[in-house]
Amino acid sequence: MTDSNELDVKHERNRAQRLEQIKRWAEYVRTHPDEDWGEQVNTIVDAQVQSARHFDAERAERQGFRDPDQSTDE
């Protein structure tokens, strides 16, 4: 089992990696035309929207499998 110090180190490392990636992306955006990076952003956003729609459809499908006698609305 990992202790809290190990988790703190891991979280800080992950945070530092995310910040570095943000800085690289910001530099890329500053140094490249909008057409280059805009298309990449659109691809990511479109994929996120598609994933969210799939999740909503899957969730609605799963709700149909619930036993009506096991309702949690009470």
pLDDT of residue 34 exceeding 60, the answer is: yes
For the entire predicted model, the pTM comes to 0.55
Going by pLDDT thresholds of 50, 70 and 90, the confidence category of residue 71 is low
Please give the Cα distance from 36 to 72 (Å, whole number): 50
The residues near 58 (Cβ < 8 Å, ≥ 6 apart) are: none
The domain ranges of the chain are 1-31, 34-62
